[in-house]
Homo-oligomer: A and B are copies of this chain.
Amino acid sequence: MTARTLQGFMELLPEEQIVMERMKSVIAHTYELFGFAPLDTPVLELAEVLLSKSGGETEKQIYEFKKGDTDLAMRFDLTVPLAKYIALYHNNLTFPFKRYQIGKVYRGERPQKGRFREFYQCDIDIIDRDELNIVYDAEVLAVIYTVFKKLQLPAFKIYINNRKLLSGFLENLEIADKTVDVLRLVDKIKKIPEEAFLGELNELGLPQDKNKELLNFIKIKGSNQQILAKLEDFNIKNEIYQTGLNELNTVVSQAICLGIPVDNVQIDLSITRGLDYYTGTVYETFFDEHPEFGSVCSGGRYDNLSSVFMDKKFPGVGISIGLTRLYDQLHNNGLLNIQGPTPNKVLVITQSSEYAQNALQLLSSLRSNEIAADVLLRECKFKKKMEYANKIKIPYLVIIGEDEASNGYYTLKDMKNGEQFKVSASELINKIK
């Protein structure tokens, strides 16, 4: 039998895994700092529940199968499970409900470099009943900003937009019936040439002059204040447009109150997010020097999370970090600045196995003092044991031999500078702490 791991499934070496775990814990920690509570839903759900809302593309990618009479599917995101969760438990929850979830999701895509079939999503969502204050959309920006800073990621910008602007703009052009198609098309504009974009607009049956107007609209550039001023200047008498403009104004100004540097948030009217369910603010995040990574953190505002399951209205706003791909891209480009903790602080080695007992007693004291410590127990030459200590890059080495055992002390070696000390157990603990 050949040992093999499925293509598109990440598997890391221990030293890499430590960094990945560190990233996960920084993200979880930051989410908690902003008041989000953890949630954990099953990886497997009824297929009909997961597919209740999704379109054709997702359905092709989903891992779906029968067990007995039941149609099962592996979750492909954390949003549909959240919609189900809210529908099931809303009577037991306190709203506004802020939850985070860090978990694996599954998409059976054609395998290709940088694409994973199993990957971590790290989601936050803020959900309220009936109405959710727009200021929470700015809170989300603050979370992204803080997480990215704490992960020591390269220079980045969060691009924001409000889908109501484009919807209102299209309504004003009297082509509102094409809104869904146009928003989906605009989402692709950065990936295709302008010519091709206009061609596809024509295919939608939009009049030539309106296409140009649309293109000029989504290409508006400038500082946030300049863009907001231009949007104001259009003076479009459309309610949806004006609501969108007000919301975007609020989000940008409150982001400043939340301490997010102006340079890290940029309005971009071509950001729409393809998905139909976004209805207001939308977010994408790009590294300044690595646009080719694509958006590494995206999301938006939706009017009604659980609409397929119930009549009650639960608006929300949320984002997701695709952690597995992010880790992979950073790793491949030497951009991982965050360090995992060394698994052990101290390694104890003995000159012969008769001192194992002394080693264990010391280990017990070290661990009682919350110092991660280990012993190497192996019948091998002392030189081999030193090689092992160097290989695992241990910060502190403790040596126990005949002299140490009979005179009741330990030899402590600081592996950074090679200094050696004769110490008692308590001196050793104090020194390391």
Contact = CB atoms under 8 A, between A and B. Distances in A.
Interface in A5-55: 5-6, 9-14, 17-18, 20-21, 32-46, 48-49, 52
A13 B38 CA distance: 10
A351 interface: no
Nearest to A362: B257
Nearest to A108: B67
A6 to B, nearest CB: 6
Contacts of A363: 258
A331 to B, nearest CB: 15
A12 B92 CA distance: 11
A136 interface: yes
A343 interface: yes
A14 B370 contact: no
Interface stretch (A287-295, A371-379, A400-408): A371-379
A388 interface: yes
B84 A372 contact: no
A149 to B, nearest CB: 11
A392 B94 contact: yes
Contacts of A99: 14
Given A5-B42, A39-B17, A259-B364, A372 B32 contact: yes
A355 B97 CA distance: 22
A38 B11 CA distance: 12
A44 B6 contact: yes
A343 to B, nearest CB: 5
A44 B9 contact: yes
Contacts of A372: 32-35
A34 B87 CA distance: 42
Given A35-B373, A357-B257, A361-B257, A85 B11 contact: yes
Given A35-B372, A63-B67, 4 more contacts: A1-B308, A4-B84, A14-B93, A67-B108
Which 8 pairs show the lowest CB-CB distances between chains A and B?
A35-B374, A65-B65, A3-B87, A133-B377, A259-B364, A9-B42, A257-B360, A3-B309
28 contacts: A1-B48, A3-B83, A3-B84, A3-B87, A6-B46, A9-B42, A10-B42, A11-B85, A14-B99, A17-B39, A18-B38, A21-B38, A34-B374, A35-B344, A35-B372, A37-B343, A44-B118, A63-B72, A67-B108, A128-B378, A133-B356, A133-B378, A133-B379, A135-B375, A135-B377, A258-B360, A258-B364, A259-B361
